[in-house]
Amino acid sequence: EIGWKLEDHPKLPKGKVVAVVVLDGWGEASPNPYNCIHVADTPTMDSLKKGVPERWRLVRAHGTAVGLPSDDDMGNSEVGHNALGAGRIYAQGAKLVDSALASGKIYEGEGFKYIKECFEDGTLHLIGLLSDGGVHSRLDQLQSLLKGASEHGAKRIRVHILTDGRDVLDGTSVGFVETLEDDLAKLREKGVDAKIASGGGRMNVTMDRYENDWGVVKRGWDAQVLGEAPYKFRNAVEAVKKLREETKANDQYLPPFVIVDENGMAVGPILDGDAVVTFNFRADRMVMLAKALEYEDFDKFDRVRFPKIHYAGMLQYDGELKLPRYYLVSPPEIERTSGEYLAYNGVRTFACSETVKFGHVTFFWNGNRSGYFNQEMEEYVEIPSDSGITFNVQPKMKALEIAEKARDAILSGKFHEVRVNLPNGDMVGHTGDIEATVVACKTTDDAVKMILDAIEQVSGIYVITADHGNAEDMVKRDKKGEPILDKNGNVQILTSHTLQPVPLAIGGPGLLPGVKFRKDVPDGGLANVAAMVMNLHGFEAPNDYEPTLIEVADN
Ligand code: 3PG
Ligand code: CO
């Protein structure tokens, strides 16, 4: 029996409007030409930093502070928003898969037994992101799974690769495919019929999220399941090299291709009786494919053929939908999140972002759980994202529309918490387009201003933070921090997130004058924010939450 009732905070009042603003991909770094936040005109965020020193600080947003295997792991939106919403640090997918593989437990679970049932007569298909980015998947985990599956009886294996260039440098896909080909060749020497069967760039093929564009998933389906794609190659290394050259697409956007045999037949369509594993551990960009693979009733695109397969996810991707039913590793059991507590304790919440980040402030915030806790207490608004474009051509995205919705929600008097994600720094940062990212940062700042103005009007409180770094550093650096040049003398553009800490600012007319950041939580991270937000709503956080970051002096 969970006691949902929160204790009253001894000093802080209830009923204030608290705006919680997450700037996606907005880290803190020293000023330099590749720091787009520094280059951009950002008077609002600057004024917070230069304002009351006790109300601005940095928090950790990467590595062990957010449940990742090591402090060499950059932060990401899933783990960042999980931590912000849950107020505790959970060992995350990356780490759970590492231990399940290391101990061999992965091969003893229900999920693996289920796919193993197909090993005698069927093919094992592995679909996922091929890189060592560690955000959605990791190459070494795929390698270990390939080896383990073949040792456990898989005789015919087909890998369907998605090239990255978003969590890792663009152009690295070639090397990852070469490594995978080496491994598959070794398996073939041992008598396992193992090959790459299809591929495509992650943003063009399969890895859409939050139902922004089902066409992306369909392109993957056609290649992976039907064995059909606009490009056919005999070999995957050649496929990636040629497509980069001839279509000028980068790794993220490679078109779909299939690998064919000497007769031009696809080497690995997914057929009745096969087993399929999606080897990404991260949820958001696997949910749509999981639905297509698992749901009998499905109308998002014409699947043409719906093979009878045994399908398992690396993890279960949606705890509420129980999707997929079978999985190799149990996901972190994120429960009793702050959103659920607040709903029980009379705090009315409004959450909003545009499609590409909508699930971040709902699904991830609520512990990878879709839907409302209590619809009477919560309202979630999704603003449709532009689809079919790369966001460097539209760097303002829908930030101002999100801010308008937040403003209206703040002024409506209907909500105590107004939570938004402003996507620009991250989504534009991932394109590697520096000029566009500067525009993205300025727009984010304008949106923050609109929200702060509304908070001013209702005498509310604001909490401004970010989920991880991205736009503050757009260049790959050596150990000394100097930009790395490629063979033509150009800097290597960093499309990925960073290891930087993120800012945390609090304020607003509703914040009692004595409220300031404590000095005794110097290593505080994103998980410490939840307890603080509960305090700002007039409650003490549950005992097992990470400690709050604020104290209230009597003055
Ligand atoms: C993506 O999925 O877009 C990137 O791999 C990570 O970005 P996010 O963690 O900011 O969503
Ligand atoms: Co990102």
Same domain for 98 and 78, yes or no, is no
At 439, which helix (H) or strand (E)?
A: helix 434-457
Domain, as residue range, for 206: 94-329
pLDDT for 222-242, tens place per residue?
Answer: 999 999 999 999 999 999 999
Give yes or no for residue 247 having a pLDDT over 70: yes
Supply the pLDDT for residue 554: 83
Last residue of a domain, one of 300, 329, 358: 329
Supply the pLDDT for residue 2: 78
Which residue ranges make up the annotated binding site for Mn(2+)? 24, 77, 426, 430, 467-468, 497
Supply the pLDDT for residue 115: 98
Q: Which atom of ligand 1 is nearest to the CA of 203?
A: 3
Q: Decide if 36 contacts 434 (C-beta within 8 A).
A: yes
Supply the pLDDT for residue 107: 98
CA gyration radius, the chain: 24
Last residue of a domain, one of 329, 353, 384: 329
Supply the pLDDT for residue 1: 73
> Does any ligand 1 atom lie closer than 6 A to the CB of residue 166?
yes
Q: 10 Å Cβ neighbour count for 551? A: 16
Which stretches of 237-392 are assigned E, i.e. beta strand? 257-259, 275-278, 310-315, 327-329, 349-354, 378-383
Same domain for 310 and 347, yes or no, is no
Same domain for 41 and 99, yes or no, is no
So what's the ipTM on this one?
0.99
Which residue ranges make up the annotated binding site for substrate? 136, 166-167, 202, 209, 282-285, 357
Same domain for 288 and 310, yes or no, is yes
pLDDT for 199-226, tens place per residue?
Answer: 999 999 999 999 999 999 999 999 999 9
Give yes or no for residue 19 having a pLDDT over 90: yes
Instruction: Return phi, psi of residue 414, to 5°.
Output: -90, -15
Same domain for 384 and 491, yes or no, is yes
Output the average pLDDT for the chain. Answer: 97
Give me ligand 2 centre to Cα 425, in Å.
9
Q: Which residues are catalytic?
A: 77
CATH assignment of the domain containing 197:
3.40.1450.10
Question: Is 376 inside a domain boundary?
Answer: yes
Question: Which ligand ends up closest to the CA of 284?
Answer: 1
Same domain for 236 and 369, yes or no, is no
> Does any ligand 1 atom lie closer than 6 A to the CB of residue 77?
yes
The reported pTM is 0.97
Give yes or no for residue 402 having a pLDDT over 80: yes
Same domain for 73 and 186, yes or no, is no
Helices (H) and strands (E) in the chain, counts: 16, 17
| 120-145: average pLDDT | 98
> Does any ligand 1 atom lie closer than 6 A to the CB of residue 285?
yes
Give yes or no for residue 197 having a pLDDT over 90: yes
Confidence of residue 555 (pLDDT cuts 50, 70, 90): low
Q: Decide if 281 contacts 137 (C-beta within 8 A).
A: yes
Give yes or no for residue 378 having a pLDDT over 70: yes
Instruction: Return phi, psi of residue 199, to 5°.
Output: -170, 180
Same domain for 414 and 391, yes or no, is yes
Q: Which atom of ligand 1 is nearest to the CA of 77?
A: 9
Same domain for 243 and 156, yes or no, is yes
> Does any ligand 1 atom lie closer than 6 A to the CB of residue 172?
no
Q: Which atom of ligand 1 is nearest to the CA of 80?
A: 9
Same domain for 373 and 514, yes or no, is yes
Give yes or no for residue 365 having a pLDDT over 70: yes
Q: Decide if 339 contacts 347 (C-beta within 8 A).
A: no
pLDDT for 457-497, tens place per residue?
Answer: 999 999 999 999 999 999 999 999 999 998 899 999 999 99
Tally of structural domains, the chain: 2
Q: Tokens standing for 269?
A: 């369509």
Question: Is 7 inside a domain boundary?
Answer: no
Question: Is 9 inside a domain boundary?
Answer: no
8: helix, strand or coil: strand
| CA 224 – CA 230 distance, rounded (Å) | 13
Question: Which ligand ends up closest to the CA of 82?
Answer: 1
